[in-house]
Structure 1
């Protein structure tokens, strides 16, 4: 992550995280703090992959395996807490995602992405610092990558992308604990795959660090091109900058623009919505089309501008970024975040109010932007 404008003290501990001096885990206290974990006890798993029993048994075994690892014990208190929190919460969504097919097979398709969103909200309620919170979310989301990365269409791209979001050595630790916390016939094979993952990441200089691209533009080209070369130093031929705002309604996007770039033209979907008399709950296609038409005018004249909308999901951002980049734009995403109670309060003061139910729905759908999407991503997070 880069350019965190407002952040808490980054020395952070997770509730009841063990220490190297005392590896005992107080499960009673943890369940008292996180009652949602109780549902894991009633969630069965596919015995082919998890013969140890239900998800809660697996979770306890994973956490105990993690804290027994020398590599976990060797890192600082905050890093230990990050990894422990990820291990504890990594299967939090399995009860919601688990299904039993007609032939008796147990599946939990989609639990990883759903779990990442649930973990983000749990950690927000704990007022977890943004960078730490998003590191835990990334471990939950990509923690199984060391087990399956070689099956990806482009294994190299998968590890380079992961390294932009979280340290791959943390993913390896998480995967090792996950495997040691289960009973399955291919356990040794999975552990060998993790060792291969470590070697592959080290070979490509992204095991304990972010992959070092030649420039921000080289990184942008790599992630937006089908078969790019990560070592290629791309010539920067961008001709203008487009700032894309991102955040829930009521996070202060208009205020940020007024304070930081009052001189730039703004394509505001809220203003277009008012001008066109379209409610936030109505079909928004006409507003987006009108906004894109305005944007094309600025792009054709090579005039820097701001695209001001919520842009909370990645596919919407990607479609706009492709449009802007097609005209030679350098893309900067500005993400704003404030606590949900303040979002609701500030939304009440807006001219274009959004119904609270819509804001909560947006919050559930929110995908926070990352460096694989743009030339620059700035995070302004007020806790």
Structure 2
């Protein structure tokens, strides 16, 4: 069974998984609350990087190391829980991504960080976890390996860029606490060198003024252009060129995007795949190429006129949004992303009542692609409708 569809306890129960000081971790209770954890004890790891054994053993060792970390011990309860849950779930996708080389016997789990963030997002969403805490956890999971390679980037990415960008997406103090625990909670030959790299990285983070806050930039436009690869000095403003002001909607089907647009942008033109399908007389999934062509032609016309408009689509994954954002920024648009969500029962109820060819089963399959937008993707990112489900005591 995929982790996305496994049982998870309510948020109030998940809060109790973090042991009080002096108490031991109750792993059986964790596995009862989050069903996906049960297979970690039978999921192998490559002995070169994890001579301690299976994923479950590693996870428990990492939790023990995290609880001894000074940053964790000095944090407020909410932030301690965020770091704890990030560590508890940081390898949640290893069972689904495990690949064993038949010739050498080497074990790999490619993409487990990104996949794990998606799995954790859905699990925590189903639990009713507040979205602020949920997204903090998922962002830590998504990049939990990056601190180990900041000084050895295969792409030649400058360490300063990594520090500055991630400081806008998460708390570096928390990420480094998770990374230290992840490295200490294993047996490997290069452990000492990785821990030394983390010490150097902490120095850089502090020098950049990004330890517990976003690295300062002259303004939001300058920051966005820097994150998108423009070479510039963060403290010198980069003046924007004229362009459209575009609101990019983001969220699962039936999350309320149409209602939000009608309420907050009633007078603006709307570019929509659903509207394009209706104009073309096509069902969901039919001749999507023609639908995309129709939408992009409409968007380009508005961008050339520098007119404000709304782009209303699910935009669920980073790759889906990147296609839209690349077009908008090519025309110097100023972009606001609005992310909407609802509890799963409400989504399914709404979708059944809509005049749509999208089935509830197809909607559920979309959860495998759900990557919430990051603050570094647009001039402004707004999260609305982060409704929490009633939870048991």
Could you say whether these structures have the same fold, taking a TM-score greater than 0.5 normalized by the shorter chain as the test? yes
How many Å separate the matches in 1 of 2:152 and 2:311? 38
**Mapped partners of 1:32, 1:239: distance in 2:** 53
Aligned equivalent of 1:110: 111
Partner of 2:390: none
Match of 2:267 in 1: 263
CA RMSD after TM alignment: 1.9
Q: Which residue of 2 aligns with 1:67?
A: 67
Give distance in 2, aligned partners of 1:207 and 1:11. 30
Partner of 1:6: none
- SS of the residue aligned with 1:59? helix
Please point out which of 363, 380, 383 is paired with 1:379: 383
3-state SS of paired residue (2:56): helix
Compare 349-358 and 240-249 and name the one that shifted more. 349-358
Q: Shift in Å at residue 355 of structure 1?
A: 1.6
Where do 1:333-344 residues align within 5 Å?
Answer: 333-344=337-348
In 2: Cα distance, 1:238 partner to 1:351 partner: 39
Q: Please, which runs of 5 or more residues in structure 1 have no aligned partner?
A: 1-9
Alpha-carbon displacement from aligned partner over 1:332-353 (angstroms, at most 9, x marks no partner):
1111111122111111232334
Deviation of 1:228 after TM superposition, in Å, equals: 4.2
- SS for the counterpart of 2:287 is coil
Distance 1:156 1:291, change over 3 A: same
Aligned to 1:127: 128
Structure 1 residue 244 and structure 2 residue 245: aligned? no
Alignment of 1:279-318 (within 5 A): 279-318=283-322
Task: Name whichever of 233-242 and 373-382 sits farther off.
Answer: 233-242
Q: How far off is 1:19 after superposition? A: 2.7
Specify the SS of the correspondent of 2:377. Answer: coil
Residues 359 and 76 (structure 1), Cα distance of their counterparts in 2 relative to 1, 3 Å cut: same
Alpha-carbon distance between aligned partners in 2 of 1:13 and 1:95, rounded to the nearest angstrom: 22
Q: Aligned residue for 2:277?
A: 273
List runs of 5+ in structure 2 lacking aligned partners: 1-10, 388-393
2:49 corresponds to 1:49: yes
Q: In the alignment, which residue of structure 2 is the partner of 1:159?
A: 163
Contact 1:23–1:67 (8 Å) recurs in 2: no
Post-superposition, which runs of at least 4 consecutive aligned residues in structure 1 deviate over 6 A?
Answer: 10-13
1:222 shift after superposition: 0.9
Match of 1:138 in 2: 139
Deviations, residues 97-151 of structure 1 (Å, cap 9, x unaligned): 1121021111111111111111111111221110100110111111222211112
Deviation of 1:28 (Å): 2.4
Instruction: Tell whether the 8 Å contact from 1:332 to 1:377 is kept in structure 2 after alignment.
Output: yes
Task: Tell me which residue corresponds to 1:150.
Answer: 151
Find the partner of 1:207 among 211, 218, 224: 211
TM-score w.r.t. length of structure 2: 0.90
| CA shift for structure 1 position 226 | 4.9
Q: CA deviation at 1:328?
A: 2.7
Distance 1:345 1:229 in 2: 49
Distance (Å, rounded) in 2 between the aligned partners of 1:98 and 1:294: 43
| 1:7 alignment counterpart | none
Alpha-carbon distance, 1:326 to partner = 2.5
Q: Which segment is superposed worse, 324-333 or 123-132? A: 324-333
Q: Compute the displacement of 1:169 (Å).
A: 0.9
The answer to which of 59-68 and 295-304 deviates more is: 295-304
After superposition, give the CA deviation of every residue in 1:358-381 in whole Å (9 maximum; x if it has no partner).
211222112211122111111112
Worse overlay, 226-235 or 299-308: 226-235
SS at match of 1:165: coil
Q: Is 1:364 matched with 2:368?
A: yes
Aligned pair partner of 1:351 in 351, 355, 368 = 355
SS of equivalent residue, structure 2 residue 168? helix
CA distance in 2, matches of 1:48, 1:246: 41
Partner SS for 1:377: strand
Aligned equivalents of 1:141 and 1:234: distance in 2? 30
What is the CA distance between 1:274 and its match in structure 2? 1.1
The secondary structure found in structure 2 opposite 1:372 is helix
